[in-house]
Amino acid sequence: MPRVMRLLAFLAAWLALAPAPALAQTISGYARAVDGDTLEMTGYRVRLFGIDAVERGQVCDRAGEAWRCGEEAAAVLAQLVEGREVACEARDTDAYGRLVGVCRAGRIDLSAAMAGAGYAVALEDFSEAYLLSVDAARRARAGIWASEFAEPRAWRAENGVRDEAPRRSEPAEARASALAARAEPAGVYFRNCAEVRAAGRAPLYRGQPGYRPPLDADNDGVACEPYRGRR
């Protein structure tokens, strides 16, 4: 897959990061990519922290043609970990008991690599660490940003797939309060989702500045989803 190999060479040039201090739980070993943001290693299934990649079965619309963006995302992650020892620093566990961690193949932060290559959106309610990588990919129209695609969580809901995005265990009210406490202008107002996306704020969660029920068509607490790369 020459396109993937060129992409990997590009990533290696700018995504090499110094190793971070070890956290309480760190696992390491050789890994296998399950999809674009999940690894199997040393008896664990590990979800990459801070991002949500397109699902393996997901199809995007690129220039009017069906593109198996989810399969390509999985192939890119597979190439990043192939033959390399991976170390994952635990940050949390998700609702299904999986480890959620910052994983590195050598010096490459895999979440940053997948976001920067354009195969994932940032889960900014968990971390803002990968917002710049996603923004750079969007501006460069890399990966899914050169297509029309459903935000992964919305695609899972529409296709009856279990929502595997990490979820914090704190009560919904506490999470909404934390989101509302972000240092943003209290009077933020968006007329429509186009303005939300233009401001780089999509999706909006209930409790965040700018969230309004009219923007949340399915009333699930998440407004302005899915992403549409060309809109």
Q: What is the full DSSP assignment across 108-129?
A: EEHHHHHHHTTSEEE-TTT-ST
CB 224 within 8 A of CB 197: yes
Mean pLDDT over 190-204 rounds to: 78
Distances (CA, A) of 63 to 66, 146, 148, 173, 199: 8, 8, 9, 42, 25
Using the predicted structure, report yes or no on whether residue 166 has a pLDDT greater than 80.
no
Which amino acid is located at 48 in the chain?
L
Share of the chain above pLDDT 90, in %: 47
Q: How far apart are CA 211 and CA 38, in angstroms?
A: 30
pLDDT value of residue 197: 78
User: Closest by alpha carbon to 110, among 92, 143, 88?
Assistant: 88
pLDDT band at 101, cuts 50/70/90? very high
pLDDT value of residue 89: 93
Mean pLDDT over 132-137 rounds to: 96
User: Closest by alpha carbon to 23, among 124, 107, 100?
Assistant: 100
Distances (CA, A) of 160 to 38, 67, 196, 199, 220: 19, 20, 27, 30, 15
Mean pLDDT over 65-88 rounds to: 96
**Domain 2-168: CATH architecture, name and number where available:** Beta Barrel (2.40)
**What single DSSP character describes residue 61?**
E
Domain boundaries, the chain: 2-168, 170-224
- Of residues 206 and 106, the one with the higher pLDDT is 106
Q: How far apart are CA 120 and CA 30, in angstroms?
A: 23
Cα angle value 133/139/143 (rounded, 5°): 70
Distances (CA, A) of 57 to 53, 67, 154, 157: 11, 11, 13, 13
pTM above 0.85, yes or no: no
Interacting residues of 221 by C-beta distance below 8 A, sequence separation 6+: 172, 205, 206
pLDDT value of residue 71: 97
